[in-house]
Amino acid sequence: MPTDTSAQDDDAQAQAQQEKNTTREGILVRRGQIWEDLDTRQSKRRVVVESVADGEAQVRDHYGTKHSTISASRMHRHSTGFRLVEPGELKYGAPTASSDEKTESR
């Protein structure tokens, strides 16, 4: 009786793809993440990941004027690398409750 190994092959391919898209620090590079260039010549440039495949991230700068490709292997803390920007560091993005919006308990 033949067995269906296509599901196992798909799982193995998905896992291999995920490993390629993971940085040295173990961060999975995903669409929508914001990374900061640590190269001092770049003046703290930040890029947004538009897509990731085969260990290559297609990114655009914050203004959307420049597009480039960055290898996931470069996305680590190093003088010429990148670091993942934490949501709390952003001056824009998801709205947060203002200080005058307080919930009252009765």
Q: CA-CA distance, 97 to 40, in Å (whole number)?
A: 34
Chain centroid offset of residue 86 CA:
11
Q: Are strands 82-84 and 56-61 parallel, antiparallel or unpaired?
A: unpaired
> pTM here?
0.71
CA angle 78, 79, 81 (to 5 degrees): 55
Q: What is the pLDDT of residues 25-40, one digit of tens each?
A: 999 999 999 999 999 8
Largest Cα–Cα separation, the chain: 68
Q: The tokens of 84 are what?
A: 């993942």
Q: What is the pLDDT of residues 14-26, one digit of tens each?
A: 888 888 999 989 9
